[in-house]
Amino acid sequence: MSDTILVLNAGSSSIKFSVFPGHMLPSRQDLVCEGEVEDIGGQLHFMVKDGAGTLMANDYPLGTTHEDALNVLRLWLDRHYPDQRLIAAGHRIVHGGPRYTAPVRIDDAVIAELERLIPLAPLHQPHHVAAIRGLSKLHPTLPQIACFDTAFHHTQPAVATVFALPRQMSADGIRRYGFHGLSYEYIASILPEVLDREAAEGRVVVAHLGSGASMCAMRGRKSVATTMGFTALDGLPMSRRCGNLDPGVVLYLMQEKSMTVGEISHLLYHESGLFGVSGLSDDMRILLASDQPAAREAVDLFVYRIGRELGSLAAALGGVDALVFTAGIGEHASEIRRRVCLQATWLGVDLDDKANQAGEPCITRSESRAQAWVIPTDEDLMIARHVWTLVGQ
C-alpha cells in the first residue's frame, strides 16, 4: 500500500479535487489524478484526469449534496486505486479570521469557528464546512487539515490591516485580512527558482487575476500589502464582484432605494464586476472578443483598476523590482498583460510584446528596470504540501 493525500476545494455547486502521494513532499510531477464533481444540487457530473491529463472518467452519477459528491469520489478512488491508502485530506478555506495564521488540523472547535466566519465569506465558507462535514461522515477517522487563504497575509504590518474605525472594532476582528493567500504562498515559494536572487527577495507585486482577482505586494517573499480587505469583495473588480466601493453607496441603496441586506449582498457578489458593467458576460475571453462598447468599458475598468492598485502597492514597497501575473486571466490573457505593462512603464516595466504574445515566462526586455513574469499558480500543491508537513511526515 502507498499513502495518498486528497486536496479539496469546495464551492456552492462543485468540488474540485486532486490526489498527491503522501509518502514524500508532493510535487506537481507526482500528481496521481485531479478532477471535479459539478452540478451539486442537481444531476452530478463527475470528471477526472490522471497526472498526465488523460481523461479517466466522465460520468453522471446520482446525488444532490456535497456528501453525495464526496461519496462518488471515494468509491471511484477505491475502485481505481485499491493499492493506495488515503492518509489525510486538505481543504482550501477562504477565511481564517484573526485566529488562524497557519494550517490546522480540523476538529469540532475549528468547524465552529469556520461557521462563525460564514458572514465574512458567504460565497465560499458554507460550502467548505459542508465538505468537511460530509467527508467526516464518510471517513470518520481521516485527518482533515484546513489551509487558509488569509494566513499568508498575517505578516503585514498593523498599519496595513487597520481600518480608521473606533479601536474596539479592530479588537473585535474588523480589519483587513486579504485573500488568495495559498496562491501567493505558492508563487513566493518558487520565486527563487524563476527570478534572480535579488529580485526574488526584493519588491515583488503578484497579480492573481481570475474570476476572483487581487494583488499582493511582497518584500522578502512575505506579504506587505494586498488589495482585498475584510471580505473578498474589496479591491479589483472581478467576474461578478464589485471590488472597491464607497461604503456610502451601500447606505444610499438602503436609505433611498429601500434595498434589503440580502438584495445588496446579491448585487455586490453576483450582479456586479465584469458582468455588471458589460451586461454581457463575466468571461474575459468573451469580453475581449466582443465589439460591444459596454464590453470594452468593462475591460477598460478592469485594466484601469489594476494600474491604480499597482501604483498603491508600489508606494507600499517603495518601488517594484518584479511584477508577476498568475491565475486564469493573468496566465492566459496576453492582451490584459500587455495593457497592464504599458500602464506600468513609469515603474520601469519595458514590455517585450513578442514574448508576451508567445506566452513566455518573462515578458519584459532584458534592459527593463522592473521585470514582468507569467508564473502559473498551484494552490492544490500548496495545500498538499501543508498536509504532508502536518500529517504525512
- What pLDDT digit, counting tens, does each position of 16-28 carry? 999 999 888 888 8
Copy the grid coordinates of residue 361.
515566462
Burial of 381 (0-12, 13-18, 19+ CB in 10 A): buried
**pLDDT number for residue 221:** 97
Residue 393 has pLDDT above 80, yes or no: no
**pLDDT number for residue 392:** 63
Active site residue ranges: 149
Distance in angstroms (rounded) separating the CA atoms of residues 145 and 114: 13
Residue 1 has pLDDT above 80, yes or no: no
Backbone angles phi, psi at 37, to 5 degrees: -110, 115
Backbone angles phi, psi at 290, to 5 degrees: -80, 150
Averaged pLDDT, 301-319: 97
What single letter denotes the amino acid at residue 190?
I
How crowded is residue 286: how many other Cβ atoms within 10 Å of its Cβ?
13
**pLDDT number for residue 92:** 95
Copy the grid coordinates of residue 239.
467576474
Percent of the chain with pLDDT over 90: 89
Mean pLDDT of the chain: 94
pTM: 0.94
pLDDT tens-digit series, residues 90-127: 999 999 999 999 999 999 999 999 999 998 888 889 99
Q: C-alpha dihedral over 155, 157, 163, 169, to 10 degrees?
A: 70
pLDDT tens-digit series, residues 38-59: 998 888 999 999 998 999 989 8
Distance in angstroms (rounded) separating the CA atoms of residues 29 and 99: 34
Nearest Cα residue to 374 out of 349, 339, 347, 337? 337
Structure confidence at residue 305 as a pLDDT band (50, 70, 90): very high
**pLDDT number for residue 347:** 97
Distance in angstroms (rounded) separating the CA atoms of residues 341 and 325: 10
Q: Among 26-30, 128-132, 294-298, 330-334, whose mean pLDDT is lowest?
A: 26-30
Nearest-5° angle of CA 8, CA 12, CA 15?
25
Considering only CA atoms, give the Rg of the chain. Answer: 21
Q: Are 33 and 50 in contact (CB under 8 A)?
A: yes
How far, rounded to the nearest angstrom, does the alpha carbon of residue 219 sit from its chain's CA centroid?
Answer: 20
